[in-house]
């Protein structure tokens, strides 16, 4: 099959033939319908995150189950699935507590080692048989994937796979950060820094939570205008800084929740500075390795404020992913406007250029038929 391989930041991505071994016990093989290009992928491409390499890229996607490994009873060939980059083991203490995005086996094996649960890979270069790493247990920039069965989440057959692929990362991360991590209450005042694919879904989550005011903030005017389509009540364009001052001019007492959907040191600090009494800053966007932000602990404690980290929207994949797909199909969530374009899988480099340029929300990569 064809797949996209990353070796190091100084080499161009390659689009080449790869062999995919059959699924082992507890795994499934999925033919990819579409894969989204995310800022997490861009971090890897730029060398801003430590990732084992060479690897097959991609972590957001959807497709159809084509083969079952031994012992898999939760899925059937032909099932439509959205891929989860946290395939919970179901047995560690965090999974048993219902905090599946904290799964210890994912954190200790799949993410850092670039392998599946048995600590081996199913991917090899066709040219020389050299082993390739999996990215976040998914590697969706390929025609097919082998993933743990818990990472292939069955969804309704009438949902368009090339759209609901976005639920696997951007939608789950954004909406989940509001409903699960923060627990935003009706009537809340909310600020969202960054109106990309994740930020727009934070806004949608705030709408679902019944927030009274939702302030969308970005450096690009076109993006904050798009944010109004997703439910923002107010917008701030701050290309030269000044986002905090503009927010406090609009809401002098600050906000109850400020979401950093970008993940830069500056935006993290801005989110904290926007808070009112008892407010929570929610860190959703992920920064490069080694980033450091600062705040004044005394002010935080005096105002009874909190800083919350949100990984994958604190979701339970098998429950929340199908529910988000249902919300889309029922008209409660907008997904189609998130798609900036579709490109063949071989045009992955152009898709990254679209994302890095700041205008694209989500580009979908479509594997060859």
Question: Which residue in 39, 51, 59, 310 is the catalytic one?
Answer: 59
Our answer to whether residue 177 is catalytic in this structure is no
Beta-carbon contacts of 316 under 8 Å, excluding residues fewer than 6 positions away, are 98, 100
Known catalytic membership, residue 51: no
Phi, psi of 294 (to 5 degrees): -130, 155
- For this structure, is 39 an active site residue? no
Asked if 92 is an active-site residue, the reply is no
Set 40, 177, 246, 314: catalytic member: 40
Contact 224, 192 (CB under 8 A): no
- 256's tokens: 């109850």
SS3 of residue 248 by DSSP = helix
- What does residue 91 show for φ and ψ, rounded to 5 degrees? -120, -25
Please enumerate in sequence order all residues whose Cβ is within 8 A of that of 40, keeping only pairs 6 or more positions apart, or say none.
Answer: 49, 59, 136, 169, 286
Find all residues with CB under 8 Å of 252, minimum gap 6, and list them: none
Catalytic residue among 89, 92, 95, 169: 169
Query: Does 38 qualify as catalytic in the annotation?
Result: yes
Cα 263 off chain centre by: 13
Instruction: From the candidates 39, 43, 80, 134, give the one annotated as an active-site residue.
Output: 43
Phi first, then psi: give them for residue 240, nearest 5 degrees. -115, 35
Considering only the C-alpha atoms of the chain, give the largest distance between any 2 of them, rounded to a whole number of Å. 63
Catalytic center residues: 38, 40, 43, 59, 169
């Amino acid at each position: 099959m064809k797949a996209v391989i990353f070796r190091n930041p100084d080499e161009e991505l390659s689009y080449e033939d790869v062999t995919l071994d059959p699924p082992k016990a507890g795994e499934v093989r999925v033919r990819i319908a579409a894969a989204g290009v995310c800022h997490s992928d861009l971090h890897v491409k730029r060398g801003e995150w430590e990732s084992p390499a060479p690897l097959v890229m991609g972590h957001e996607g959807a497709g159809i189950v084509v083969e079952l490994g031994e012992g898999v009873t939760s899925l059937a060939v032909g099932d439509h699935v959205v891929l989860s980059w946290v395939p919970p083991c179901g047995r560690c203490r965090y999974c048993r507590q219902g905090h599946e995005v904290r799964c210890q086996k994912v954190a200790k094996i799949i993410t850092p080692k670039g392998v599946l649960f048995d600590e081996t890979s199913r991917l090899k270069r066709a040219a020389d048989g050299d082993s390739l790493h999996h990215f976040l247990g998914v590697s969706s920039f390929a025609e097919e994937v082998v993933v743990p069965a818990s990472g292939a989440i069955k969804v309704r057959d009438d949902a368009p796979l090339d759209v609901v692929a976005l639920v696997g990362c951007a939608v789950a991360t954004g909406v989940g950060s509001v409903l699960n991590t923060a627990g935003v209450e009706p009537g809340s005042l909310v600020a969202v820094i960054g109106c990309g694919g994740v930020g727009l879904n934070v806004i949608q989550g705030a709408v679902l939570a019944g927030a009274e005011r939702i302030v969308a903030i970005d450096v690009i005017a076109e993006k904050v205008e798009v944010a109004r389509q997703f439910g923002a009540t107010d917008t701030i364009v701050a290309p030269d800084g000044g986002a905090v001052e503009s927010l406090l001019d609009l809401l002098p007492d600050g906000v109850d929740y400020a979401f950093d959907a970008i993940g830069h040191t500056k935006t993290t600090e801005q989110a904290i500075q926007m808070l009112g009494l008892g407010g929570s800053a929610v860190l959703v966007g992920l920064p490069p390795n080694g980033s450091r932000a600062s705040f004044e602990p005394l002010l935080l404690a005096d105002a009874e404020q909190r800083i919350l980290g949100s990984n994958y929207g604190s979701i339970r994949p098998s429950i929340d992913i199908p529910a988000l797909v249902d919300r889309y199909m029922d008209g409660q969530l907008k997904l189609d406007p998130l798609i900036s374009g579709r490109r063949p899988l071989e045009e992955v480099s152009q898709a990254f250029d679209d994302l890095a340029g700041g205008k694209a929300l989500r580009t979908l990569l479509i594997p060859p038929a």
